[in-house]
Amino acid sequence: MRIWRFTCFSLFFGIFLSSVTELTGSAELSIAVEPDTTILINSAHTNTQCTVCIRQDTQQLCQSSAVLRSDTRLVFNCSQPENVFTVQIIRDNVMYNIEPKEHNAFLKFNRTFIWNLKPPDKKTLHLNFSSTGLQQIQPTDSCPDKHVYMLAVDNISVGRFCQNGTIRQVDVCNVGKLSLEVSGGRALDEKVIGVSLGPLINSLANFHVVLPERSSTQDFFTPVAFPENAETVWYFTVPQAYYTDVRILSYTVPACLQPENIPTMKYTWQGKEPLVKLMNVSQPSVEPGNFNLSIKNCRLSGPQPPSQDLMVRFQISAIKRSKGQCEGDLPEKQVLQIRVNKKDPKSTCVLKLDSVMMDTITIASGNHFVLNSFDCNKDEVELTVNQTIECKEWRDCASTPFPLTFIYEQQCIPGVLKTIIWHLHGPQNSAVELQSPAGSLRYCPPEDKCNSIILLNVAHVNSSITLGQYCPMGTIQKIQIRESKIAITASVTSFNDRNLATKPFLTYSFTQAISEHYIFTVAPKMDNPTVLATPAWPSGMKASSTVSWIVNLEPQFKSNVKFRNVSQPKCKEVHTNIAVQTIRSQTTLYSTKRDEKIKDLLVPESFYLNMTNCKSPTGAFRAMMEVTLQNSTNELLGIILSIVGVVLVIVTAVGICFFLRKKKRNKAPPVSVYNPSEHAFLPGLHGIPKAQEEEEDPHTYVYIDETLIYSHLLKDDDEKEEYEEATADESDLKLDYSPLNNPALAERPVREGENLVTKSSALIDNELYGCAQGQSTTSDSPKRRGAMKQDRVCEGNSPD
């Protein structure tokens, strides 16, 4: 408790002591005053006991304020007068350079340097702030360096400024006042302000602004309590290759005596007509070169409250930009319209047509245009081209297909060519025939993606009904539409090369009216199924409309038609119809009935697929089909292969049997046959042998095994065994004997009186019985040794 009382007492005593020190202390200053200069010392606080005293000789006059016009000694009856008093140093009749000078005695005081400006009659004072540069601020703002300039003309505040800005000069024609507020303790920045005389101006004040050679943004304000019928002008100097944008941040407009004279923003560029803009509209943007901006107040209808005075706060931005310019004319005969669109409105890219900034610019045939682009990359701008191709009379329409192309003559127009729209207008009651130069088109449902950079959309012009969208490289060879006016849109996903536009997207021709509303000629392929859909999918077909698909198949193929999605409406009278009919045989394979579920079909040849909507449908009639090819030769090929397989098996079996039989026949041992009859035949031959026409020897033998005839003549077993060994080799050589395949004996000449049979029998007798004549018919061989034994036998049996 005692400690708390002591603390409170100490705090109160300190406050009291400081107050007594401020009030009871004193400070004495010696002030030197220059000619044409007045120093005002005023108390900043109304309730204060500190006074300033002017000492003159022995007398001292103390007041709450003082006015000094000559050298004076000042005495303050407080120790810190800088906290109580402010100092104003005023210089009158300034027409030459302003050279601010510091008064060191007042360094600690908040001081204001004031220069009263009074130009001669019909002259204007030019205040040059090139050494400092001014930046306009709001009335309640302060400056970082504690130096605040204020300019007033005829007691009207023109503005407050800080140093290091873009305002280089201010012109005033009437009596004015330039003030510089410097905070206490801050040394005065003694930069010279040039003053010169110039011709008389009609405005309240002129500001000369020099924008720096870098991207910058400056705010400017109209004078506070803007007098009626008064004008303020800003002169902007813009660096080369820099472009300015003007933006109004806030404004108030008074009630004018004449509403048509409402205050406006008036812009003037060298060599151009003045441009006047209201406060509530967009102001000029991306403008090159120096320009003037003037704001003039109107004559007021009566006294206005301060909140309704004219006040405008605007912003000037300067940016260095790269500029592109395109100037030309679109040929009128082509009926072209090019729309240049900026993709991102927030992009720094700027498009201007005839000095008017736009996000979307439209250029039409027959008009001269000047298109400027600033800081626009190629991908930031898209081009949409509309071209109308019209043929009113048949004599002017050629029946041969014409290509749909776009000859891009204006290469200087920036951007990427994104969309081309052709409007085809043919004769009345005509039809349009479309084909792809690449060979075929592919139907692309809205939910699918096109596998190409080009997507084609076909629609009716009058009803805006979309027939469908298509991609290149498909199975649709031709599209026929019973409509004289259609629109074809080519949307390009990646069109970096504009020369692609010169290549034909489609070919078109106008023909006589067709029986159906739509006819599609389709040639399916084996690799991928072909998707077909009714026109305007996924929306329904138009009432009473008809569509036909002519599906052409190669002879070796058949098709499977699958109905993926079919929606049937409710009809009052005639129901919708879906029919499938073959082309060659004219056979109706399918025709729907009411409320019948549609089944998939297998069509063996080319066919028609026809659909008809009813007159007054309730609901949508739409269908999506899928055509898949199958090879029709698969079954026949299976039958042929089966027959060939059976034949091969039979041939193989017969060949094996023949081979085994022949091998068995070759392995059979040779057989000697004695034929006592007159007819000789070979073993194994069938049929009755023919009789010899000539006389034959009855003792003719085909083959005689000697061992069967002469083996009994052998004397003992040793000789018999030796003979058998000797004839074994010879018997082996004869195992393969066959009367059908052994070579024939060489023919000998037939003697006179002999025939072939008697000659052969004689030869055999000689070979068999040569022992009687003492001759041998064999060579030196195992057989020869047998023959020698036979000779010995013969000799033993000889009568001699």
Same domain for 714 and 663: no
Q: Which of 667, 690, 723 is the last residue of a domain?
A: 667
d(CA 665, CA 354): 113
Count CA atoms within 13 Å of residue 598 on its CB side. 21
The verdict on residue 382 lying in a domain is: no
Same domain for 712 and 793: yes
Instruction: Report DSSP letters for 621-686, one per residue.
Output: -EEEEEEEEEETTHHHHHHHHHHHHHHHHHHHHHHHHHHHHHHHHHTSPP------SS----TT--
The verdict on residue 726 lying in a domain is: yes
Same domain for 652 and 718: no
Sequence-distant (6+) residues with CB within 8 A of 526 are 557, 629, 631
Token pair 């030769």 is found at 633
d(CA 685, CA 690): 12
Longest dimension (CA), the chain: 217
CA distances from 648 to 374, 639, 651, 655 (A): 84, 14, 5, 10
Amino acid at 671: V
Supply the pLDDT for residue 694. Answer: 44
Evaluated on CA atoms 353, 357, 358, 359, the torsion sign reads: positive
The verdict on residue 512 lying in a domain is: no
Supply the pLDDT for residue 379. Answer: 84
The verdict on residue 88 lying in a domain is: no
Residue 625 corresponds to which tokens in the numbers above? 């089909």
Mean pLDDT of the chain: 79
The verdict on residue 614 lying in a domain is: no
Evaluated on CA atoms 602, 603, 609, 614, the torsion sign reads: negative
d(CA 27, CA 11): 26
Same domain for 785 and 711: yes
Residue 164 corresponds to which tokens in the numbers above? 């290091």
Parts of the chain with a pLDDT under 50: 1-24, 681, 684-698, 715, 723, 726-800
- Give the domain extent around 722: 706-797
Q: Which of 618, 651, 667 is the last residue of a domain?
A: 667
Q: What is the dihedral of CA 314, 320, 324, 325, to 10 degrees?
A: 50
Supply the pLDDT for residue 502. Answer: 62
* Nearest alpha-carbon partner for 548 in 514, 574, 525, 573: 514
Sequence-distant (6+) residues with CB within 8 A of 383 are 338, 339, 340, 341, 413, 415, 416, 417, 418, 419
| φ/ψ (deg, to 5) at 22 | -65, -40
d(CA 114, CA 109): 15
Q: How far apart are the first and last CA of the chain?
A: 192
d(CA 449, CA 550): 25
d(CA 579, CA 592): 7
The verdict on residue 208 lying in a domain is: no
Instruction: Report DSSP letters for 193-212, one per residue.
Output: BEEEEEE--SSSEEEEEE--
529-558 per-position pLDDT tens digit: 999 999 999 888 988 899 999 999 988 888
On whether the CB atoms of residues 64 and 51 are closer than 8 A, the answer is yes
The verdict on residue 727 lying in a domain is: yes
Supply the pLDDT for residue 706. Answer: 55
On whether the CB atoms of residues 321 and 373 are closer than 8 A, the answer is no
Ranges assigned E (strand) in 44-175: 52-56, 59-63, 66-68, 72-76, 85-94, 110-117, 123-128, 134-137, 147-153, 156-163, 167-172
On whether the CB atoms of residues 595 and 542 are closer than 8 A, the answer is no
d(CA 406, CA 420): 8
d(CA 526, CA 477): 16
Residue 454, H or E segment: strand 454-460
- For the stretch 769-775, contacts whose Cβ atoms lie closer than 8 Å and that sit 24 or more positions apart, written own/partner, are 771/795
Count the domains in the chain: 2
Supply the pLDDT for residue 405. Answer: 78
**Total residues found in the chain within this entry:** 800
Residue 766, H or E segment: helix 756-769
Residue 613: count other Cβ atoms within 10 Å of its Cβ.
Answer: 26
List, in sequence order, every residue forming a beta bridge with 449; answer none if it has no partner: none
Count CA atoms within 13 Å of residue 687 on its CB side. 4
Q: Which of 641, 667, 693 is the last residue of a domain?
A: 667
The verdict on residue 379 lying in a domain is: no
Sequence-distant (6+) residues with CB within 8 A of 640 are none
Instruction: Report DSSP letters for 687-755, one per residue.
Output: SPPPPPSS---TT--S---HHHHHGGG--SHHHHHHHHHHHHHHHHHTTT--TTTSPPPPP-PPPTT--
Residue 767, H or E segment: helix 756-769
Helix (H, G, I), strand (E, B) or coil at 105: helix
d(CA 222, CA 311): 6
Residue 291: count other Cβ atoms within 10 Å of its Cβ.
Answer: 21
| φ/ψ (deg, to 5) at 535 | -55, 145
